[in-house]
């Protein structure tokens, strides 16, 4: 419990900055939407005219981007990337820092098992991503409010947030696993960052090319793709199951390796 509380106290400042970032993002996104509406330009046209299949990346072929809900879905694609970055920095940092700060000897000399350390740190990670997810939900609902959304639009936002959370969870666990199993955990942040960048680029590629659809199984951004979730109004059960299994496997692997790993000092 002490580890949990100490770690959580260290996170407030970072959480405040990330929340500010989300506010800035949503406010500018919705003022862009407002600009389109005032100028009477069709948002659908703008996105459909993007060259080279990029329109598919924004879901212009399946969404009504004119509606508040449709436009928010595009924002959600970016929110998922932003919160994913937070989650992977969180997951990798919280484990790696004991070794980069040379505090690991202090910690493991206390009468707590390594399993407990790992568990406490995982819980801190979960707490922060839940908080950030709820902040994002509140900010999103507040920032679309001026566009008199119907109850369905707010419902859509609530419906999309679990997909963002799923991406946060996956990247939190990826970061945590890298830091727990690598011999040099200080590289874990970089490596999980590379995984996120690669997933994002691959996800965009699958959307744009419309080919090799099986590659969708390689990138979490396709598992919880906000635009198809919004368009079909459903999560894909298969993807949810695979993601849950992947998270479980990674956690089991971290626990297994972290128990007996030599720390880098």
Partner 1 sequence: MNIYRHEMRQNLGATAGWTLALIAIAALYISIFPSIAGNEQISDVYRNFPEAFKKTFNISEATLSAFAAFYALVLNLVLLTGAVQAMNLGTGIVSKEGRLKTADFLLTRPVSRGSVLRQKLLTVVTALLLTDLVFLAVDWLLIQAMISDSFRFRTFAVSSLSLVFIQAFFATFGFLLGAALPRVKRVVAVSLPAVFGFYIIALFDTVIGEKVRFLTPFKFFDVNRLTAGGGYEAATVVYLAFLVAAAVIAGFAVYQRKDIHTT
CA angle 79, 81, 87 (to 5 degrees): 100
Q: How far is the CB of 1 from partner 1 (least distance, A)?
A: 25
C-alpha Rg value of the chain to the nearest Å: 20
Question: Which residue lies nearer to partner 1 by CB, 140 or 154?
Answer: 140
Q: How far apart are CA 241 and CA 218, in angstroms?
A: 14
Q: How far is the CB of 75 from partner 1 (least distance, A)?
A: 10
Q: How far is the CB of 112 from partner 1 (least distance, A)?
A: 23
Question: Which residue lies nearer to partner 1 by CB, 154 or 204?
Answer: 204
Q: Is 225 helix (H, G, I), strand (E, B) or coil?
A: coil
Would you state the structure tokens that stand for residue 21, as one six-digit string?
């970032």
With 0-12 CB in 10 A as exposed, 13-18 as middle and 19+ as buried, what is 237? exposed
Question: Which residue lies nearer to partner 1 by CB, 183 or 233?
Answer: 183
Terminal Cα-to-Cα distance of the chain (whole angstroms): 26
Question: Which residue lies nearer to partner 1 by CB, 70 or 193?
Answer: 193
What proportions of the chain, in percent to the nearest 5, are helix, strand and coil? 80, 0, 20
Question: Which residue lies nearer to partner 1 by CB, 192 or 254?
Answer: 192
Q: How far is the CB of 265 from partner 1 (least distance, A)?
A: 10
Q: How far apart are CA 181 and CA 254, in angstroms?
A: 6
Q: How far apart are CA 132 and CA 138, in angstroms?
A: 10
Q: How far apart are CA 204 and CA 207, in angstroms?
A: 5
Q: How far apart are CA 74 and CA 76, in angstroms?
A: 5
Question: Which residue lies nearer to partner 1 by CB, 93 or 220?
Answer: 93
Q: How far is the CB of 256 from partner 1 (least distance, A)?
A: 25
Question: Which residue lies nearer to partner 1 by CB, 52 or 151?
Answer: 52
Q: How far is the CB of 25 from partner 1 (least distance, A)?
A: 6
**Alpha helices of 101-150 — where are they, by DSSP H?**
104-108, 114-144
The residues that touch partner 1, with contacts defined as CB under 8 A, are 21, 25, 28-29, 31-32, 35, 49, 51-54, 78, 81-82, 85, 89, 93, 96-97, 100-102, 186, 189-190, 193-194, 197-198, 201-202, 204-205, 208-209, 211
Q: How far is the CB of 155 from partner 1 (least distance, A)?
A: 26
Sign of torsion over alpha carbons 35, 38, 41, 43: positive
């Amino acid at each position: 419990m002490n580890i949990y509380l100490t770690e959580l106290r260290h996170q407030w400042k970072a959480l405040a900055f990330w929340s500010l970032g989300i506010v800035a993002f949503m406010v500018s996104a919705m003022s862009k939407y407002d600009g389109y509406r005032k100028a009477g330009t069709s948002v659908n046209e703008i996105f459909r005219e993007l060259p080279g299949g990029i329109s598919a990346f924004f879901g212009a072929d399946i969404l009504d981007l004119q509606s508040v809900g449709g436009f928010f879905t595009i924002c959600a694609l970016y929110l998922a990337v932003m919160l994913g970055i937070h989650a992977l920095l969180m997951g990798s940092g919280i484990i790696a820092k004991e070794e980069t700060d040379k505090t690991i000897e202090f910690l493991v000399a206390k009468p707590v098992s390594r399993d407990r350390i790992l568990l406490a740190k995982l819980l801190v990670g979960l707490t922060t991503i839940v908080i950030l997810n709820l902040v994002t939900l509140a900010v999103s609902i507040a920032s679309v409010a001026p566009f008199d959304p119907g109850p369905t639009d707010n419902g859509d936002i609530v419906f999309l947030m679990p997909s963002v959370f799923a991406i946060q969870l996956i990247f939190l666990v990826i970061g945590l696993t890298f830091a727990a199993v690598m011999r040099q955990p200080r590289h874990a942040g970089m490596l999980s960052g590379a995984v996120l960048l690669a997933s994002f680029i691959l996800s965009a590629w699958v959307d744009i090319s419309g080919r090799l659809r099986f590659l969708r199984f390689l990138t979490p951004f396709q598992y919880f793709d906000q635009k198809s979730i919004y368009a079909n109004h459903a999560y894909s059960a298969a993807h949810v199951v695979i993601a849950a299994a992947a998270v479980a496997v990674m956690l089991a692997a971290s626990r297994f390796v972290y128990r007996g790993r030599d720390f880098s000092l």
